[in-house]
Amino acid sequence: MRKITAVAMAALTLSVTATSAFADQLSDNKQRGSLICGVLGTVEPFSFSNPQTREVQGYDVDFCDAIAKSLGLTSTLA
């Protein structure tokens, strides 16, 4: 029982420290003026390439645009 508790505590500690490493990303994005979103463009309807315009569109793109707009930024797809 102690071994399981120790492993669980170690996993929890590692997960908490992993997220704190990215605390300054918001300031980096605001300094850049854009939010960079990575989408594959291969899974319709989430993200896919429009055959007429050759632009990536879908739920993921709309979600990225909405988040960027709420932060006062533009969105860039990568």
Q: Is residue 70 part of a domain?
A: yes
**Structural domains in the chain (count):** 1
Task: Report DSSP state, residue 74.
Answer: E
For every one of its 78 residues, what pLDDT tens digit does the chain have, with 9 covering 90 and above? Answer: 788 887 777 776 766 655 555 667 888 888 999 999 999 989 999 999 999 999 999 999 999 999 999 999 999 998
Q: Is residue 7 part of a domain?
A: no
The single-letter code of the amino acid at 47 is S
DSSP 11-66: HHHHHHHHHHTTTTHHHHHHHHTEEEE---SEETTTEEE-TTT--EESHHHHHHHH
Q: What is the CATH number of the domain that holds 38?
A: 3.40.190.10
Q: Is residue 15 part of a domain?
A: no
Q: Is residue 1 part of a domain?
A: no
Q: Is residue 10 part of a domain?
A: no
The residue segments making up the domain with residue 44 are 23-77
d(CA 73, CA 78): 16
Q: Which two tokens stand for residue 11?
A: 């996993």
